[in-house]
Structure 1
Amino acid sequence: MIFGEFDTDAAAGVMLAHTLKVGGRTLKKGRTLAAADLAWLRDAGINTVLGARLAPGDVAEDAAAAQIAALLTGADTNAATRPPYTGRCNLHASLRGIVQVDRERIDRLNLLDEAVAIGTLPQHAVARAGQVVATVKIIPFAVPARLIDACREIASAGPLLRVAELKPHRVALILSELPGMKESVFAGTVAATRHRLDALGSRLALVLRCAHERAALEAMVRQALAAGCDLVLVSGATVAKDRHDIAPAAVTAAGGRIDHFGMPVEPGNMLVLAHLGSVPVVIMPGCGRSRRTNGLDWVLQRLLAGLVPTREDIMRLGVGGLIRSPLEAEDDAAEDAEDGDGESSAAPRRPGAPRVAALVLAAGRSSRMGAPNKLLIEVGGVPMVLRAVNAARASCAESVTVVVGHEAEAVGTVLAASGATLVDNPDHAQGMSSSLRHGIAALPDDIDAVIVLLGDMPRITAEHVDRVIAAFDPAAPSIVTPEKDGRRGNPILWPREFFAAMAGICGDQGARGLIEHNADRVKRIAIDDDAIFVDVDRPGDLAQAEASLVPQSGSGIIEEPVT
């Protein structure tokens, strides 16, 4: 490329270095001068122009920027280029996620020649859909093709930038307490946690609270897993000071492993990262109770994008790990009041989303099991009835109502801390239909539908419940049933218009006949998981259910409806 001052008479094909405004007409910077432009310049008395003439083998700035930008990304990287302009080509995120950059190769590209300048968002920055995540700027008007070839060689090993999608997670928060702790502490922690998760597209699905004791925390961890939560946060009454402290010991007692303790980030030093199977467990540092940015935010962002940090990843956070962000708003009194005692996990309802209540039937006599009440027997360390109730609590259901009957007091004791509404069925000996009748009568007046869960189905999780709810369309209400291989399972969702008919059912067959008489109103969804069939009636069923539990291996839900 030749840059300099050219006589107007010999400037055909020259690219203007600067915008010219003469006599009411404008020739913009970068314009390639044509014969008509030169005639106008001569008439205006302009004898020379400053600009550049491309040499053979040169690539103009826009084309060069586009070619180099295309080298940075590739298929399945969730980033795409936009048309270049004035020597610049930007890459935009196609979805909300966490930016991953190959810094070493980006540095090599920038060190090739001053003519190419590539800038990106910081490593692991949060990017919104459509946001610029990288920009390529060609400094002069053109670059030699050999420079683009050199860039191509560096980029040949694969994409240099990708955006890891932030995927929605169903998150449990476990709060432990010591005598004398203020309720405002729990309310503030719930509010701050919900704020964090909402900002990253995930949901605080289940809040559990217990004494700050190893056995109690272990039980809560097991409950969170049984409910179907795919990330567990533990906010201890005291911060963990050792791998064998109360909260880490509870995780290992539940079958988990401690991956790493501590991090070179302040605030956030005392964070503990663990796993229970494939489910991440984070024992929060004390600063996790605050909304201010701290090390917990950095770890959460990666976990929610599927970028599980290793020990080395965490220990490399030290440079830049002293977080001194501007003061961010803390929980105000209105938020504390809104969260009440800090145990509510209900998130604001999406505009236009249907109101679906959950109804758990837990009144049966358990006659085929023998002496013990099967609903009180632990499966995977969690009483069976509590597994069903927590699955409903962790789902998107508006409310959870539980019908009790046989040994109602004992069942109620197990569910005392769940926050579910308990309804007594004095007629439970008459069978399941009586529980439906009492349960339907106790549901909130403003709901669009109810999803009915059975208290003796220990493998049902919130994911199953949410999939059934998601298939319900209040504009064209149908009975929604989960199926596998043509066989119907549970739980089943019922639109409000069927409530009266459900309340009129007699005997111990539930609403099976009502489904058969309304076959044209049934919407079937395919779920590739035997959990929708697994109930516990006899001692042998219990052993089989226990053996088949695979915590957090996924529900196997198929997204396509059955046709």
Structure 2
Amino acid sequence: MRKVPVTKAVGMELCHDITRIVPGHEKGRAYQRGHVITPGDVPRLQDLGKEHVFVWEPDDDLVHEDESALRLARHAAGPGLSWGEPNQGRVDLRAAYNGLLKVQVDRLTMLNNLDGVIMSTLHNNRLVVEGQKVAGTRIIPLAIQRSILEHAEGICSRPGPLITVKPFQPLWVGIVTTGSEVYTGRIKDGFCSVLKQKTSFFGARVLGQVIVPDDPEVIAMEIRNFISEGAQLVLVTGGMSVDPDDVTPTGIRGTGAEVVFYGAPVLPGSMFMMAYLGHVTVCGLPGCVMFNKTTVFDLVLPRIFAGDRLCRGDIAGMGHGGFCEDCEVCRFPACSFGKSTDMYGVK
């Protein structure tokens, strides 16, 4: 790589993209790598603040920024990811399908500790959709030492890829609605339509809904009935507070399920319960799930449908970032809600 005055570079080939910025309006590529400089380019390059340009001279010890970014992307990307061509030295990774983004954050930090190498991603355990940009990578200099790049490639690919997207599984779902006031017809249930809407995105197949009184034995029986019918996820709505008539937690425990937690450090959604009966997830949903647009349920739902089995530590870590700001215009999941640094361990 050699530095040449623009006025003496006519006929030479650019070894890097050159960016044009119009403040507040545009930032894009003015010249592409490989462009052969013409006499008419000289004043344009000077207008872009370029008195010198770099031209490429092969060097076995150096790897060009474009090739480096492509190599990093290929080594980092696991199942569910694709990448494009370099643009201004950068290569982006996109989700190949709807799913749950998984990032090996400790290794990502190791990678970014290398001199001249960067990789940035969306948050781990983030719901992503097909075609969405989820990460980008580049090197800082125009060329990097081959040994540094090979070290970076090792961090990206071993053990296992740095970034993956887990596809959602179309789970069979049963809905048990509790509450004597609903069971007797005094009020109309408002939960079922909300749950169908929230789970349909993930491909849920709803087995049905049963409405039961505030009786823990009946609640437990209906949960077991759904599981015997093939339910892979049972959602139990209402009766989750500390009122004497709210017995849904007792009913869930009565199935013999292993309760992971009852009481999540997330607002709204603190009275949420999660349990496992074998491989079946059972969730006790407080009333806020019916009334609030975004709750703890929206944090755990993508992980359930991606096949994650959550532990108590996963939920405890949600406290940092678990306070919803209840914005007038909700942008979840493109916001800070649930993006705790304590949630980043991949399972």
Assess same fold via TM > 0.5.
Answer: yes
1:65 is the counterpart of 2:69? yes
1:221 is the counterpart of 2:202? no
What is the RMSD computed on CA atoms of the aligned residues?
3.1
- 1:267, 1:205 → 2: CA distance? 28
Residue type at the aligned position of 1:73: A
Residue type at the aligned position of 2:302: Q
Match of 1:125 in 2: 126
Query: Relative to 1, partners in 2 of residues 1:44 and 1:154: Cα closer, same or farther, differing over 3 Å?
Result: closer
Could you tell me how far 1:92 is from its partner in structure 2?
1.8
Could you tell me how far 1:265 is from its partner in structure 2?
1.2
Could you tell me how far 1:79 is from its partner in structure 2?
1.5
- 1:17, 1:255 → 2: CA distance? 63
- 1:67, 1:175 → 2: CA distance? 52
- Deviates further, 309-318 or 139-148: 139-148
In 2, are the aligned partners of 1:266 and 1:322 still within 8 Å (CA)?
yes
Could you tell me how far 1:146 is from its partner in structure 2?
2.6
In 2, are the aligned partners of 1:59 and 1:142 still within 8 Å (CA)?
yes
TM-score, normalised relative to structure 2: 0.79
| Residue of 165, 168, 191 corresponding to 1:166 | 168
In 2, are the aligned partners of 1:91 and 1:135 still within 8 Å (CA)?
yes
| Residue of 152, 174, 177 corresponding to 1:175 | 177
- 1:82, 1:165 → 2: CA distance? 21
Query: Relative to 1, partners in 2 of residues 1:325 and 1:97: Cα closer, same or farther, differing over 3 Å?
Result: farther
Match of 1:93 in 2: 95
Could you tell me how far 1:65 is from its partner in structure 2?
0.9
In 2, are the aligned partners of 1:69 and 1:136 still within 8 Å (CA)?
yes
Could you tell me how far 1:293 is from its partner in structure 2?
0.8
Identity %: 25
Residue type at the aligned position of 1:218: A
- 2:43, 2:94 → 1: CA distance? 44
Residue type at the aligned position of 1:128: V
CA displacement 1:275-302 (0-9 Å, x = unmatched): 1221110011231222511101111111
In 1, are the aligned partners of 2:17 and 2:32 still within 8 Å (CA)?
yes
In 2, are the aligned partners of 1:233 and 1:281 still within 8 Å (CA)?
yes
Match of 2:264 in 1: 263
- 1:45, 1:250 → 2: CA distance? 73
In 2, are the aligned partners of 1:172 and 1:231 still within 8 Å (CA)?
yes
- 2:193, 2:282 → 1: CA distance? 19
Unaligned runs of 5+ in 2: 21-28, 331-347
Query: Relative to 1, partners in 2 of residues 1:210 and 1:84: Cα closer, same or farther, differing over 3 Å?
Result: same
In 2, are the aligned partners of 1:175 and 1:186 still within 8 Å (CA)?
no
* Aligned ranges 1:9-408 → 2 under 5 Å: 12-15=12-15, 18=18, 28-32=30-34, 34=36, 37-38=37-38, 49-54=51-56, 56=59, 57-74=61-78, 77-113=79-115, 115-155=116-156, 156-179=158-181, 186-239=188-241, 246-327=247-328
Query: Relative to 1, partners in 2 of residues 1:153 and 1:241: Cα closer, same or farther, differing over 3 Å?
Result: farther
In 1, are the aligned partners of 2:183 and 2:212 still within 8 Å (CA)?
no
Q: Residue 318 of structure 2: SS of its match in structure 1?
A: coil
Query: Whose RCO is larger (CA < 8 A, sep 6+)?
Result: 2
In 2, are the aligned partners of 1:292 and 1:327 still within 8 Å (CA)?
no
In 2, are the aligned partners of 1:292 and 1:328 still within 8 Å (CA)?
no
Match of 2:337 in 1: none
Residue type at the aligned position of 2:307: G
Query: Relative to 1, partners in 2 of residues 1:14 and 1:263: Cα closer, same or farther, differing over 3 Å?
Result: same
- 1:71, 1:101 → 2: CA distance? 13
More helix by share: 1
Unaligned runs of 5+ in 1: 21-26, 330-563
Match of 2:340 in 1: none
Q: Residue 112 of structure 1: SS of its match in structure 2?
A: coil
- 1:117, 1:39 → 2: CA distance? 36
- 1:283, 1:231 → 2: CA distance? 11
Q: Residue 187 of structure 1: SS of its match in structure 2?
A: coil
Count of aligned positions: 315
Residue type at the aligned position of 2:66: D
- 1:132, 1:323 → 2: CA distance? 25
CA displacement 1:24-68 (0-9 Å, x = unmatched): xxx94243354xx3455579998x843223462332222111101
Query: Relative to 1, partners in 2 of residues 1:326 and 1:191: Cα closer, same or farther, differing over 3 Å?
Result: farther
Residue type at the aligned position of 1:288: V
In 2, are the aligned partners of 1:8 and 1:41 still within 8 Å (CA)?
no
Query: Relative to 1, partners in 2 of residues 1:249 and 1:110: Cα closer, same or farther, differing over 3 Å?
Result: same
Query: Relative to 1, partners in 2 of residues 1:317 and 1:11: Cα closer, same or farther, differing over 3 Å?
Result: farther
* Aligned ranges 1:516-527 → 2 under 5 Å: none
Could you tell me how far 1:317 is from its partner in structure 2?
1.3
Could you tell me how far 1:172 is from its partner in structure 2?
1.0
In 2, are the aligned partners of 1:8 and 1:38 still within 8 Å (CA)?
no
* Aligned ranges 1:505-516 → 2 under 5 Å: none
Q: Residue 175 of structure 2: SS of its match in structure 1?
A: strand
- 1:44, 1:298 → 2: CA distance? 50
In 2, are the aligned partners of 1:241 and 1:270 still within 8 Å (CA)?
no
In 1, are the aligned partners of 2:216 and 2:251 still within 8 Å (CA)?
yes
Match of 1:375 in 2: none
In 2, are the aligned partners of 1:15 and 1:31 still within 8 Å (CA)?
yes
Could you tell me how far 1:178 is from its partner in structure 2?
2.8
- 2:284, 2:189 → 1: CA distance? 18
- 1:253, 1:145 → 2: CA distance? 61
